[in-house]
Each structure stands twice: as C-alpha cells, then as structure tokens.
Structure 1
Amino acid sequence: MKKSILKRLIDILIITFSCMLYAVGISLFLDPNSLAPGGVTGIAIIINHMTGFSTGTMIILINIPIMLAAIYKFGIKLFISTIAALAFSSVAINLLAPIGALTTDPLLASVTGAVLIGLAIGLIFRVGATTGGADIIVKLLRLKYRHIKTGMIFMFFDGFVVIASGIFFRNINIALYAGIAVLIQAVVLDLVLYGTDGARIIYVISSREDAIAERFMRELEVGVTFLSGSGAYTSTNKRIMLCAMRKQQLPLAREVVQQEDEDAFMIIASANQVFGEGFRRHDSKDL
C-alpha cells in the first residue's frame, strides 16, 4: 500500500515536472517564433497567431471533443492522468507566454524547443499518461483502420500541420524549421522511452556454426544460443545461432562470420533494450 502511494506521488511529480518542460518548450521557444511542431499544439499555435487566442486555452478547447470521444470509447479511468497532464501543461503554457522568446534564432528555437518537448512527452508516456491531442486521435483511428501503421498516421498529421504553418505564415523557412523540430522531438522521445543501448541481435545460419560460435564467445566475449530450425523448401533441420551484442562489436562479428563461412546467412537487427548478463539489470531504471 505504501509503495503504491509512493509510486503515485512520484508519478505526479514526474507529470508536473514534465508539463513545465513542455510549457517552456512551447511558450519560450516555439510559439513566439511562429514554429508549429505538428499535432494539436501546432494547430493551437497557428490559431494563436491568427486570432490572438492563447495557445494553452486553444489546446484545451481542441482537446475537449477528442477527450470526450476517447472517454466514450475507452472509459475515463484510462485518461485521468492524461486529463491532468493536459490541464496542467495548458495552464503553464499560458502563464509562461508573457515572458516571450528566450531566443529569436529560429534554428536554436526549433532545436531547443523540440528537445524539451520530446523529453517532456517521453517522461509523461513513461508514467502511463499522454498530453492528449494527436496521441488520442491515433488511438481512435486505429480502432477503425487497423491496417494503417501508427507511425504513418502521426507522419501525415504532423506533416499536414507543418505545411499549414508554412502556408499561413507565408514563409517556407518557418515550415522547414518546424519540420526540424518534429524530427528532433521524435528522436528525443525515442531516446527517453527506449534508451541508448544500441544493441544488435544477430542470427546466423551456417554449416560452420560451431566454429563461429566458439570464436564469438572467445574473441567477442558474448553468449551464443542455438535455436532449432527447418528449411521450408529443403525440409533440412538446421541450427540457428542467436547472439546479442553491442553495436561496436558488430564489425568484428561480421569479419568472423565472413572468415569462417562466406556463404553463411546472417540477419542483423536492432534492439532498443537488452536485459541480462552483459547488458542492463532487470531492475535497472532508465531515468
């Protein structure tokens, strides 16, 4: 019970801190430089410059029908933290807006603002909340259009807002800087959510799997697991090597495979997070 209360308090502190970061990124960097970084926030920034209506208030107004639809479909329990994050960040945006831009350089503003927003959204996601807007829209659209990839929906939505900002402000540079902000925000968000392990997963199918495995363990000092497989065309039973390693070990691993068997079949895949011996502990915290 005490642990549950403590965790909830920590989550509230993280959401509060993250909302402040989000508000700083919007009110002190992006909004005063007319940079609309996609999503509902980008739409709110455009409307702010069109009408003078405060960005934070517009974010809440745009989100009201979105949140009502989400609550109707999924229930309110899932969105209590999101509603709190949305309300707090919007109020903070309005409170910080009078301070104005900390820099008028659009490149510095887009980079700094995007880093702050990406960090903030990542932290909010980590505690099971969102900032509403596009995240909820995507969730709703996926109910009906399951065949469409989530990333494609985000890309279309953000792209539309960025292009709209360029048209409204009649400045292609503004749209390009906003596009840079969208990309940086996505990269920072991924780093916060998935870490920087940079691990690689290697699968090797070879007639010399024992020799390759022995060299992997001796020269790279990594573990190797053999999986059982069967060729669909030949019906031949094969042993498949499975190995996780740091990305800096990859060149030597490829060299070993090439030296032992030039005809070996090798698949290399990225792994965002790897837990266990040689990597992170299972009880480790990303932040």
Structure 2
Amino acid sequence: MKKTTVLLEYAGIALGSALMAFALHFFLEPNTIAPGGVTGVAVVIQRITGIPMDLTNLVINIPLFLAGIMILGKAFGAKTAYATLMLSLFLRLFSMGFGSTVTLTSDILLAAVYGGVAMGVGLGLVFRLGGTTGGTDLAGAILNHYFPSLSTAKMMMILDLMIVAVAGLVERRVETALYSIIALYILVKLTDFIVEDLSYAKAFYIISDKPAVISQRIISELSRGVTGLEAKGMYTGSHRTMLLCVVNRAEVAKLKKLVYEVDSDAFMMVTTIHEVLGEGFKEVGNSSV
C-alpha cells in the first residue's frame, strides 16, 4: 500500500474520532445521553464521579485491547489503538478548549438526534478505514469466544442496552434511557450506511422474448455488461434467457426506458446492491474495509 494512502487513512480515522468527540462533548454528555459502547459508559461515569470521558475511555479500552490481542489474536492492530487514542485526545482537547459544561442545545431530543448523527458519521468513517474504537464491539467478540451460543452482535446489543438502562437510572428518568436508544439507533444506521458505501447500485433481472436485442442495446448504449441466465417457466414449461445487468442509480431510468422500447411486455425485477466491485464500478483495491 502506498505511503500516501496509509497517511490518508490515518487522517480519516483522526477525523472520524474528532467527530465522535464533538458529538460526545457538545450533545450527548451534557444531556446524559449514553448511546451504548465504552463512550456511553464514559458519559455515565463523568456524570456520577466527574472523571473525564477521555480518561475513562482509555482506562477501559486499554485492557480490552490487550485482552482482545491475547484471546482473539492480533487482528485489531495499530488502527484500533490509534483510533482509541485519537478519540481520547480529541475529548481532552475539546474539554480544555471549551470547558466541561458547554452544550449546543439543552433540548434532549435535538441532542439525541444530532449527537447520534455526528457519532454515526465519525464511527462509520473509522470503521470504513479499517479501525475500531474498541468498546462493545471488542467486548462482544471476547464474550462470544467464551459463549459461542450468543453471537457477537447479540453480545454487543446486550451490553449497549445495559449501558442505556444505567444512563436512565443515573438521571432517574425513563426518558433519558429512551432518548439514548434514539441516539443509539441513529448511530448504528448511519455507521452501516457509511461502511456499506454511499454509492448504491441496482441489479435488473429481465425476462423478455427479445433478450438478444435488449442485451445488444444495453451494451452499445449504456456500455454495461449483460449476463444471460438460463431460466424455465414452471407454469408453461418453456425455457427462456433471463438477463442480469447491474447499473448505477443514474442509469436506472435509462435502462427501464430502453427495455420497454424493445419489449413493452418485458418482465423486470429491480433490487438494490450495496456494493459492486469490478470493471465499470469500484476497483477491488478500493473496497470498504
């Protein structure tokens, strides 16, 4: 891997960590919203004891990281350690620069929504570039090693919900836990969206009496490849060629129009593809982590 690419990846992880620290410092912690994870634990502990979030983040994640290396091997690597340190560093910088009581809004719903968005974008960026920030994803993987009947995802969900429940107990308000769940939901959805890629594609399955004409027009007019799949109609027993073609979102309307110009009775199925690798789309070397 080129040195420039590596530097850009680490810069991206630092940016993601900064966004997470921004969300925690200005939206989530001032309103005691704990969106799961070690950062959620840090929010609760700072609210109870006054111990800074950056210190709690390091104290919990360092032994988790070491345990992960011993139990699960060296798969987590330098980027996880770097992301964990960057998150703690930015939390400390925000605290030193703006003080520990600054909040951009006292409306708890707005704090949950915008805090969840900033956290989700930041965490998604870190994940996409090959890092993690430790936390419940690492803890869940360690617990799964000893309790294989429960998946890592289920372990993470259990841990996150426990943290959210504790946040509600600290404030003695059920609403706090409910708002934390909103932030957690937004965080998870945005993280998945960024990791899976923003450039969705569409796959067309086309059944027509004129597959040769349609495929030739797709190749010549859209410069897209077409694959012919042998299919059998179970009602009629007749054999047909079903066409498979993958296009980007901008070409969806063009392909529909092209097909119906050739055969107005054509049958089409369209499905969303979250990631396409190869010629005409994203190079394999540039795929998500």
Alignment TM class, shorter chain as reference: 0.7 to 0.9
CA contact (8 A) 2:277 2:287 kept: no
Amino acid at match of 1:132: G
Aligned-pair identity in percent equals 29
Structure 2 CA distance, aligned partners of 1:160 and 1:259?
Answer: 56
CA contact (8 A) 1:212 1:260 kept: no
For structure 2, list consecutive stretches of 5 or more residues without a partner in the other structure: none
Aligned pair partner of 2:241 in 223, 231, 239: 239
CA contact (8 A) 1:224 1:243 kept: yes
In structure 2, the residue matched to 1:274 is: 276
Secondary structure at the aligned position of 1:128 is classed as: coil
Amino acid at match of 1:226: T
Aligned pair partner of 1:260 in 262, 265, 289: 265
In structure 2, the residue matched to 1:191 is: 193
Cα drift, residue 35 of structure 1: 0.5
Aligned pair partner of 1:102 in 101, 104, 107: 104
Between Structure 1 and Structure 2, how many residues are aligned? 280
Structure 2 CA distance, aligned partners of 1:202 and 1:267?
Answer: 6
The 1:279/1:91 distance shift into structure 2, 3 A limit, reads: closer
Trace 1:64-79 onto structure 2 (pairs within 5 A).
64-76=62-74, 78-79=76-77
Structure 2 CA distance, aligned partners of 1:284 and 1:71?
Answer: 27
Trace 1:1-287 onto structure 2 (pairs within 5 A).
3-4=2-3, 6-76=4-74, 78-97=76-95, 98-99=99-100, 100-143=102-145, 151-204=153-206, 223=224, 225-229=226-230, 239-246=241-248, 260=265, 268-274=270-276
The 1:227/1:73 distance shift into structure 2, 3 A limit, reads: farther
Secondary structure at the aligned position of 2:33 is classed as: coil
Cα drift, residue 55 of structure 1: 1.9
- TM-score by length of structure 2 reads 0.76
Q: After superposition, what is the alpha-carbon deviation per residue over 1:90-138, rounded to whole angstroms, capped at 9, x for unaligned?
A: 2332342324212212222222222222222122223311100112123
Please say which of residues 99-108 and 222-231 is displaced more in the overlay: 222-231
Amino acid at match of 2:265: E
- TM-score by length of structure 1 reads 0.76
Structure 2 CA distance, aligned partners of 1:196 and 1:207?
Answer: 35
CA contact (8 A) 2:229 2:243 kept: no
Structure 1 CA distance, aligned partners of 2:35 and 2:68?
Answer: 23
Amino acid at match of 1:61: V
For structure 1, list consecutive stretches of 5 or more residues without a partner in the other structure: none
Amino acid at match of 2:37: G
CA contact (8 A) 1:228 1:237 kept: no
TM-align CA RMSD: 3.8
Structure 2 CA distance, aligned partners of 1:142 and 1:249?
Answer: 43
